[in-house]
Amino acid sequence: MHMLEDIIKKDKAYYMNTFGDRLPVAFKYGRGMKLYADNDEVYYDFLGGIAVNAIGHCHPDFVAAMKDQLDKLVHTSSLYYIENQANLAKKLAENTCADKIFFCNSGAEANEGAFKLAKIYFYKKGIDKYEILSLDHSFHGRTLATVAATGQRHYQAPYEPLTPGFRQIQPNSIEAVKEAVTDKTAAIMIELVQGESGVHPMDIEYAKELRDFCTEKGILLIIDEVQTGMGRLGKLFAHELYGIEPDIFTCAKALGGGVPIGAVCAKADVAAAFEPGDHGTTFGGNPLATAAGLAVFDIFEKEGLVENSEKMGKLFKEKLISLKEKYNDKITDVRGMGLLIGIELKPEIAGEVFKKLFENKMLTSLCKGLTIRIAPALNITEDEIDLFVDTFDKIMQEI
């Protein structure tokens, strides 16, 4: 039997059907931007495993670092000191506005940690604040608390009653924030660019006003950088681009180059609320996962990937905006910063364009049935960008 058919048969028989019919391909191996299917067809990964593969697939330095760590140690437990964990925490703290770091295994888990930290911060002060506000159209994860924070009804409805204390408000409106806040509001969590819902950036003015308002009212500002972090927007973290400092930010997707790891990053006074026993994890920040994070940082620094993200992102967006001008009856918007770009299409053609991209071996995702999302490796070249733009041009002519 053909290998792909065999995999699909097993998947349908034994795997929970949370992903429905997936795209009909299984990859055997990858190199840089390229993924090789089981029938040896080559695909170009313009989605980067949903903003995870920031250094591309199987970067030789990353592979070497992982092999080296596998030979030494995978896991010990949080009962002992872990050299890689301490070094990666230092890296994150030295390169961001955060002072202290906690490692976990995913984006949702990082956001859960951020909620717990915000709540315990007020609890330890004896202040009765527990409510967390987030934004409509946001995405913060799939655990019960992060579902309660995710402003998309279809993710919430089956799991009611939801975790109490969460409420969503209109994005990009400081008035909405002022109206919604009560004396019980502990924190506001936002994405500076909403990724999952189709690459929707917040205004810089909104972000700055929100920062000032939170400071004035004694509310913690939490920025979910799970998707926007690690150079995605052309700065190491999105909040740098916006010129603001959150009290807590979370990070995951690209941090481990594909090895699962998440991080809660906080200012010293906030982080101090976590005392021994208040939070924990079995796997979080283990020697293997933190070796992955260290390898990613090394490659970022050696190859100037944050700078490349800014430069290539600008170029990519310019070329896509030219296409929008050429096909303004089909392309309705081109949004994003750095290498997180959304191409919004007329609803009648969006699904078909996504399908044609896949048939042309270009991997992207389709958000809300409307917007093609691009989040490639940060070491993408101009030739690879041209390949996408030329293919997109061809599809626009055909459709």
Ligand X SMILES: *Cc1c(COP(=O)(O)O)cnc(C)c1O
Binding site for ligand X (CB under 6 A): 106-108, 111, 139-141, 191, 195-196, 224, 226-227, 252-253
> Which of 91, 129, 253, 319 is the catalytic position?
253
Q: Which CB, 104 or 396, lies closer to ligand X?
A: 104
Active site residue 269: no
β-pairing, 248-251 vs 220-224, is parallel
Closest residue to ligand X: CB criterion: 107
Q: Which CB, 145 or 291, lies closer to ligand X?
A: 145
- In which element (H, E) is residue 323 found? helix 305-326
Q: Which CB, 96 or 111, lies closer to ligand X?
A: 111
Active site residue 274: no
Q: Which CB, 59 or 253, lies closer to ligand X?
A: 253
> Which of 129, 224, 354, 392 is the catalytic position?
224
| Token pair recorded at residue 337 | 């910063």
β-pairing, 100-104 vs 42-45, is unpaired
Active site residue 217: no
| Token pair recorded at residue 209 | 């006003």
- Distance CA(254)–CA(299), nearest Å, equals 12
Q: Which CB, 129 or 373, lies closer to ligand X?
A: 373
Q: What is the DSSP string of 67-116?
A: HHHHHH-S---TTS--HHHHHHHHHHHHHSS-SEEEEESSHHHHHHHHHH
Q: What are phi and psi of 257, to 5 degrees?
A: 60, 20
> Which of 62, 102, 122, 139 is the catalytic position?
139
Q: Which CB, 35 or 340, lies closer to ligand X?
A: 340
Least distance to ligand X, CB of residue 50, Å: 7
Q: Is 194 helix (H, G, I), strand (E, B) or coil?
A: strand
Least distance to ligand X, CB of residue 142, Å: 6
| Token pair recorded at residue 201 | 């950036």
Least distance to ligand X, CB of residue 391, Å: 26
Q: Which CB, 131 or 196, lies closer to ligand X?
A: 196
> How many Cα atoms sit within 13 Å of 314 on the Cβ side?
7
Least distance to ligand X, CB of residue 374, Å: 14
Least distance to ligand X, CB of residue 263, Å: 11
The set of residues, in sequence order, having a beta carbon less than 8 Å from that of 56 and lying 6+ positions away, is 30, 31, 32, 33, 45, 48, 377, 379
* Residue pair 356/67 in contact by the 8 Å Cβ criterion: no
Least distance to ligand X, CB of residue 332, Å: 23
Which own/partner contact pairs does 319-328 have at CB distance under 8 Å and 24+ positions apart?
319/385, 319/386, 319/389, 320/389, 320/392, 323/389, 323/392, 323/393, 323/396, 326/393, 326/396, 327/396
**Burial (CB count <10 Å: 0-12, 13-18, 19+), residue 188:** buried
- In which element (H, E) is residue 35 found? strand 34-37
Instruction: Report, as residue numbers or ranges, the catalytic residues.
Output: 139, 224, 253
